[in-house]
Structure 1
């Protein structure tokens, strides 16, 4: 199946609902996109609306990947946000937020294609670097390293997950916050 990328698509009610549904499914599959499962669309909606506000203001960018062909053509398969800086001295870089590939499309290389598209969009806009942070403990940093990102910092126990996650085998709710960047 192939993908079609949409950069800064109109945030129609339908697209908003598709993004919230994708975000909910990714979260419930264990994706580190701001929540710990289980979550509902009602849980995700306020965080999504805040991201949409940045896009609607023109400060931030949205990249959506839709399926082409297959059983469900036009379905949102992956998405991410590029967040700009308000400070003039850091205007040369952007932050990558909420990178997600729907669980139905995991393992098909869509994440790598999405990250390449984000870099192309940022480069075209004149950005010199991309930054992101990663919740440690899940191996996600290995994916970003394969995309060309390098770790430049780590805050030990910089993330504290809700206490309900500690119920799984006595695991600690703390995760390292890993900072990574890509030179464009």
Structure 2
């Protein structure tokens, strides 16, 4: 399995696979901003129309974890994104968004590998602070704690879960040692992560 950052020109080719992954994870109960009933077309459209333009600008970086089946067909089993702040006073920070692992691969270490890839790339881009939020009480909350993230606080009734019930969210942050000076240019690929 490889973990690869998608170049802007490559991103459109993965929209359908990313949409299928998003639909699978939402159907599995993960709170990612969507409700049950999300169709494959709606999920792919979200990636294409909401994420695509920011990937093209370089303000969002998207990684995919790819596996090849017995027929040689590649499929997307996980993803993670970094959203960079475009404001001049925030170039030192980025937000981890949409860390997703296909239901059939949970517990294999793929989520840790994706998170480590994004953290390393952020540090290489000069980012010194990462932030994220996740549903309070979800398995993801413990996942981030084990990965060295610090809980900052909880916001009540922040977002509806896939069933439409309002849930609190827990805010996390992680300080990074920059590997290069802070800059605004988009990230460069950092190679593959192996699982």
TM-score by length of 2: 0.81
In structure 2, the partner of 1:34 is 33
**3-state DSSP class of the match of 1:75?**
strand
TM-aligned CA distance change 1:175 to 1:72, over 3 Å? farther
In structure 1, the partner of 2:167 is 175
Matches within 5 A, 1:30-179: 30-48=29-47, 49-67=49-67, 74-161=74-161, 165=163, 173-179=165-171
Out of 1, 4, 21, the position equivalent to 2:2 is 4
TM-aligned CA distance change 1:23 to 1:72, over 3 Å? farther
Higher relative contact order (CA 8 A, sep 6+): 2
On the 8 A contact 1:150/1:182 being kept in 2, the answer is yes
List gaps (5 residues or longer) in structure 1.
Answer: 167-172
CA displacement at 1:102 relative to structure 2: 1.0
Q: Distance in 1 between matches of 2:100 and 2:109?
A: 12
Offset from partner CA, 1:8-48 (integer Å, 9 cap, x none):
33335431111111111111111222212232112323422
Q: Distance in 1 between matches of 2:86 and 2:148?
A: 26
TM-score by length of 1: 0.85
RMSD over equivalenced CA pairs, Å: 2.0
List gaps (5 residues or longer) in structure 2.
Answer: 177-195
Q: Distance in 2 between matches of 1:160 and 1:39?
A: 14
On the 8 A contact 2:135/2:169 being kept in 1, the answer is yes
